Structure 1
């Protein structure tokens, strides 16, 4: 009995160490990729990772994550804000979203295959020894139409592990990062996978829009899950429902709608319940859920979302 318990504890420690290893690997890669110092994306990813380390059990401090003293001091000098604010402000998105932005910035949005392959290389390193911490499983590419020359907009699935960190980051993205139509669609179902009786903010993307997800394990095309079908009107025969807002489609479609005004106009919510008043009520319910989740994690939130700056 005691031996079995000891084995379980050792297994838990190994799994938890995956977080530290992956966190350090992501930070190191981002610093390497950063074309100039300091970089807003490195600032953002440091805060996001430090926050996720702070709400883990056991907690990881920035010093636990960046165990190299020289690197720690260098990062503190260049990026003081994440070290000060990781325990009071919320990130707007999870870490791999920042990595994706950096890769797109370096490679150019038109180079889809290269972008996906570059991200896949990092994900494969992160997934060694069956690690799941800070790993995105899918990437999504959206375009306003099927013209190969139209701009591409990317997104990744939430790079969190465990139910509560995922719920926290989905709520944070709804309230601070995503286009309001995408946020409204997700808030329609968040957090229980059941549609709110008083608010339907779901949208239907125009037929000509391309919205294609790929597995970052083997690059195969992934059909939309039932959740994404419900949120964005994507055609699918899949019955599996992931948590609403977890999938790569949410971030990708959000980025599309932020820049393609015509598509956004065509996609606006059609339900009679999608009023400003009902949306506000849905927003308040998401904020309440988020506040409760943070209390459970013993996180004292100052009601600010972190704004990266250098």
Structure 2
């Protein structure tokens, strides 16, 4: 029995080291990038909140002080420069996962047309992140690029950098309400939180075949075909692999950014199902909200009904 307890203790320490290492790596990278003249510092603010929130609901919980246990000077500097994440991570939800903030920072600084440069920057950071035997906290494994045509603006997305089912479901729900384009959110909520399509609401869309929606594994930049879930959501040709929960793939964020910014594409893909009534949309959003509140109760999170920074969902 003592040997079993010792093994459990060692595994717990390993998981804590992985979370702390990855949190510090991402935070240091974002702080360094924020020193460039064109860098939007609000993305540092947002990534801090997202990491601190995921630390709070982690098992075991991880406070900011635990993350910076060996660097109190950095902790105090961040508290002075970015006080809101420290004040609000224990009451407000993030609208997206941390690596999404990193992606935005890199795309802004490297410029969207420089796809290879952006990919290399993401890969380099990905290589620095520690992958435990099981848990991979705060890591995005894939990136997706969408374009209206081969000569148009590129829109990027990364997979959810959450570890475990409950954190992923919480951030997916928050993204449906506050981050993704409504067209993409409707598609995800058609299934969320289960794998069975709702019989009273169909918000799935079908992207034209002329649209580029191409995903890559970040570890080696190997192209990967969309999974079954993304095929169901967006009408993409699927690999037949049915691995991730709805809303977790890089295609979701990438397509959301595409339709947010390309009005013509959004009009072309807008679903026409007879189930898309105002009443049914309210019903599906209530269903998602009820699930979200139940998950937050399960992890002991006292929510003020806001998504950071101060998007009120009441």
TM category (shorter chain) comes to over 0.9
Deviation of 1:179 after TM superposition, in Å, equals 0.2
TM-score by length of 2: 0.94
Deviation of 1:22 after TM superposition, in Å, equals 0.6
Q: Which residue number in structure 2 is paired with residue 80 of structure 1?
A: 83
From 137, 140, 144, give the equivalent of 2:141: 137
CA distance in 1, matches of 2:221, 2:290: 38
Q: Which residue number in structure 2 is paired with residue 166 of structure 1?
A: 168
CA distance in 2, matches of 1:138, 1:15: 22
Give per-residue Cα distances to partners, 1:178-227, cap 9 Å, x unaligned.
00010000000000111111100000111211000000111100100000
Q: Which residue number in structure 2 is paired with residue 228 of structure 1?
A: 230
CA distance in 1, matches of 2:256, 2:132: 33
Does the residue aligned with 2:307 lie in a helix, a strand or coil? coil
Q: Which residue number in structure 2 is paired with residue 280 of structure 1?
A: 282
- Write the mapping of 1:187-206 to structure 2, written as runs, cut at 5 A: 187-206=189-208
Q: Which residue number in structure 1 is paired with residue 106 of structure 2?
A: 103
Q: Which residue number in structure 2 is paired with residue 5 of structure 1?
A: 5
Q: Which residue number in structure 2 is paired with residue 255 of structure 1?
A: 257
Ranges in structure 1 where 5+ consecutive residues have no aligned partner: none
CA distance in 2, matches of 1:150, 1:38: 24
CA distance in 2, matches of 1:229, 1:19: 32
Q: Decide which moves more: 104-113 or 266-275.
A: 266-275
Q: Which residue number in structure 1 is paired with residue 126 of structure 2?
A: 123
CA distance in 2, matches of 1:283, 1:241: 25
Q: Which residue number in structure 2 is paired with residue 70 of structure 1?
A: 73
* 8 Å Cα contact 1:225-1:236 kept in structure 2: yes
CA distance in 2, matches of 1:85, 1:22: 21
CA distance in 1, matches of 2:192, 2:227: 16
CA distance in 1, matches of 2:147, 2:46: 26
Does the residue aligned with 1:189 lie in a helix, a strand or coil? coil
Deviation of 1:127 after TM superposition, in Å, equals 3.2
| Cα RMSD for the two superposed structures | 1.6
Deviation of 1:123 after TM superposition, in Å, equals 1.0
CA distance in 2, matches of 1:162, 1:16: 15
* 8 Å Cα contact 1:38-1:78 kept in structure 2: no
Q: Which residue number in structure 2 is paired with residue 20 of structure 1?
A: 20
Structure 1 runs (4+) deviating above 6 angstroms are none
* 8 Å Cα contact 2:18-2:130 kept in structure 1: no
* 8 Å Cα contact 1:48-1:94 kept in structure 2: yes
From 269, 285, 292, give the equivalent of 1:267: 269
Q: Which residue number in structure 1 is paired with residue 93 of structure 2?
A: 90
TM-score by length of 1: 0.96
Give per-residue Cα distances to partners, 1:233-271, cap 9 Å, x unaligned.
111241414200000000000000000000000000121
Give per-residue Cα distances to partners, 1:147-195, cap 9 Å, x unaligned.
2x31000000000001100110111101110000100000000001111
* 8 Å Cα contact 1:94-1:169 kept in structure 2: yes
**Count, aligned residues:** 307
CA distance in 2, matches of 1:70, 1:30: 17
